[in-house]
Structure 1
């Protein structure tokens, strides 16, 4: 009887939510065609309930749907385990990328999407790849909804773009009535791109209402010769901050996990996935 009750609570009860971001360097058909690379990408995704994927560069728009087909073929259910939402191709001139969110359908759902217009009168076209914000419903966690604002900065403009995320937050928070915000992605926020002296010019860092969940020493780069905290997670909202423990932050080192050489690992990406966990809702009683 107790076992049955436990299982019932497990099925309909609270679950934590593992959120990840992954810059899959120059993702397209080439990486899908390499079985070892594809397997590592799929394993990286299945470790997460919700993953931001960056640097999708496939012009034909066919590679990402194929990735989802491979991903869901690992599961046998009445409906696909994972779904996704993807931005339009973003960028200046001919070079363009897409953001995408892959999410486990039993854990979260999409409430709305919003492409940041980047038309602030005082600073038009601040971003090379404008944030594509998504509002998720998260019924089993301490917070019931959350907004994720993704960013992949242009390395040469990292200081400016990270600072401009302050304006993006205020724009999105006026657009949607949510109190729970995550700003995450490849900030290029380390090693020559953001010198220490520049942090005092970045509003997102100066405003104490924003919690930088990841510190300046967290290496997310694959190369042994670099030690760079490129990828970051920033939280906004009292309940959002309370729902995430700093101890949950992890860099998924697929090089070590799969026993790869550096060359083999770099065939997957020059970034490791960055992950953290939103706490499950507390049961009453």
Structure 2
């Protein structure tokens, strides 16, 4: 009887500790799926790798959706959810309008696991700042997520796919986007992520001092300048980046959780086969529970 009582106390204590310190981790990724559209949907081997890459994450930002007919992304979601064993494990999504100058257009999309996340609000940055209109080729489509099963209960993601020739200016302008969104929504937790084109000649070293997102110490860059997110062997480029803002957000992400998912090695592909998927590898971070304060 005494032993049973001891076991009951131990079990109760363990459950309490898990409830206090065992908040669910959240894997957040971004993936520039080069020129994603009907052509890639029509290739089963390519589609399988895209779906597998997305399925590894709880939240995936998809960049460079180029699909004038608007059908390819819907088909991607059907294929993705066809692999879910239960409805509870299915993914949902939110997608921007087609963005860009003149005839060239892209879309941003967020694919997220329904049991983990929901969308609180969306905001298409208007890019009409007086004296600096049309600063972005593809202005950020900002999403505020609710995350009830993690220690960070909500967070905002500002996505970006810069125009390579304007990478310095656009990365700097993300500071203004943050300022704008932080006044619009009452959240202290921000993730700025995507294809910054922040390497290999597009952002010379001498230019970093002119980028407020980098010089302002409140922003934490999880990804270093030597990170390689490019598929080609001939390039080593830290194109894709993740930047955090907000004390609890920063505490909740271990810098060692940064991961470049090398689908070329994972699936034993040749470089040509890998490039048929994309010229970028997905970039991921894991949001764990924030540290308890004394």
Q: Distance in 2 between matches of 1:282 and 1:213?
A: 18
- Deviating runs (4+, > 3 A) in structure 1? 4-10, 280-283
Structure 1 counterpart of 2:83 = 74
Cα shift readout 1:44-99 (whole Å, capped 9, x = no counterpart): 00110000000000000000010000000001324561000000000000000000
Matches within 5 A, 1:98-137: 98-137=107-146
1:90 lines up with 2:124 in the alignment: no
| The structure with more radius of gyration | 2
Structure 1 counterpart of 2:258 = 249
Contact 1:15 1:281 in 2 (8 A): no
Q: Distance in 2 between matches of 1:42 and 1:155?
A: 27
Deviation of 1:143 (Å): 1.0
Q: Distance in 1 between matches of 2:272 and 2:217?
A: 40
Q: Distance in 1 between matches of 2:79 and 2:27?
A: 21
Q: Distance in 1 between matches of 2:269 and 2:87?
A: 36
In structure 2, the gaps of 5 or more residues are: 1-6
Q: Distance in 1 between matches of 2:268 and 2:15?
A: 37
Q: For the structure 1 residues 141 and 271, does the alpha-carbon distance in structure 2 shift closer, same or farther, using more than 3 Å as the test?
A: same
Q: For the structure 1 residues 244 and 129, does the alpha-carbon distance in structure 2 shift closer, same or farther, using more than 3 Å as the test?
A: same
- Residue 175 of structure 1: which of 159, 179, 184 is its match? 184
Contact 2:46 2:277 in 1 (8 A): yes
Q: Distance in 2 between matches of 1:121 and 1:80?
A: 45
Q: Tell me the TM-score normalized by structure 1.
A: 0.94
Deviation of 1:142 (Å): 2.1
In structure 1, the gaps of 5 or more residues are: none
Q: Distance in 2 between matches of 1:213 and 1:249?
A: 7
Contact 1:17 1:141 in 2 (8 A): yes
Structure 2 counterpart of 1:184 = 193
1:133 partner SS: strand
Structure 1 counterpart of 2:3 = none
Cα shift readout 1:102-123 (whole Å, capped 9, x = no counterpart): 0001111100000000000020
Structure 2 counterpart of 1:46 = 55
- Residue 238 of structure 2: which of 229, 244, 251 is its match? 229
Cα shift readout 1:224-278 (whole Å, capped 9, x = no counterpart): 0000000000000000000000010000000000111110000000000000000
> What's the C-alpha RMSD, in Å, of the aligned pairs?
2.0
What is the aligned residue count? Answer: 282
Q: Distance in 1 between matches of 2:31 and 2:173?
A: 22
Structure 1 counterpart of 2:64 = 55
Matches within 5 A, 1:201-220: 201-220=210-229
Q: Distance in 2 between matches of 1:54 and 1:76?
A: 27
Contact 1:211 1:236 in 2 (8 A): yes
Contact 1:142 1:282 in 2 (8 A): no
